[in-house]
Amino acid sequence: MKEKVIEAINAQIKAEEESSRLYFAMANWCDTHGFPGSAAYLYIHADEERMHMIKLVHYLNERGAHATTQELEKPQNNWDSLQNVFQDVLTHEQKVTELINNLYEVCMIEKDYLTSNFLQWYMQEQVEEEATAHTVLDKLNLASSSQGGLFHFDKEMESMAKTAAAAPSA
Ligand code: FEO
């Protein structure tokens, strides 16, 4: 594999692991601020990001390159409100989409078509993750305007967490 592609994938491995830690920190915040359903959802999301990382690690190793384990940034640990948490989820996913696009561009410049093909899965995943983050935020904004709305929102997140936990992992 070309060195530039290896470097870019290693950078993405770090980004996915940092995403996992950010969602883990968000889950911890929800857990300690009366939102157990949102916490359950975000703990699962943290696991999914770790799976995204591991998939890249296996890919690099299978291609005869070497995935490196890297130093990570400390994630944010506090938020002002549940709305801030889920707004940050959306913003973060948009950032990840940009990173995947940039990684794809490196592969195209380096003519690494196998890796470009491998990245299709991540591109599709980003479309779904951004759409879900938008939907959750819309629900939360609607819920915030009514009495007891946040309680019901949190219950809905609990059922989304159950559905996600039951789904086969990719
Ligand atoms: Fe691995 Fe949610 O992006």
**9-18, 32-41, 49-58, 145-154: least confident range:** 145-154
pLDDT in tens, 47-94: 999 999 999 999 999 999 999 998 999 999 999 999 999 999 999 999
- Other beta carbons within 10 angstroms of residue 50's beta carbon come to 17
Nearest to 170 by CA among 124, 116, 115, 112: 124
Structure tokens at 11: 């950078």
SS3 track for 16-68: HHHHHHHHHHHHHHHHCCCCHHHHHHHHHHHHHHHHHHHHHHHHHHHCCCCCC
Q: What is the pLDDT of residue 102?
A: 97
State pLDDT tens for residues 113-158.
Answer: 999 999 999 999 999 999 999 999 999 999 998 889 999 999 999 9
Query: What is the C-alpha to C-alpha distance for residues 4 and 67, in angstroms, rounded to an integer?
Result: 13
Q: Are 8 and 16 in contact (CB under 8 A)?
A: no
Phi, then psi, of 106 in degrees rounded to 5: -60, -45
Provide the whole-model pTM.
0.94
Q: Contact at 8 Å (CB) between 126 and 93?
A: yes
Ligand 1, CB within 6 Å, residue ranges: 16, 19, 49, 52, 93, 96, 129
**Cα of 51 from ligand 1 centre, angstroms:** 9
45 Cα nearest atom in ligand 1: 2
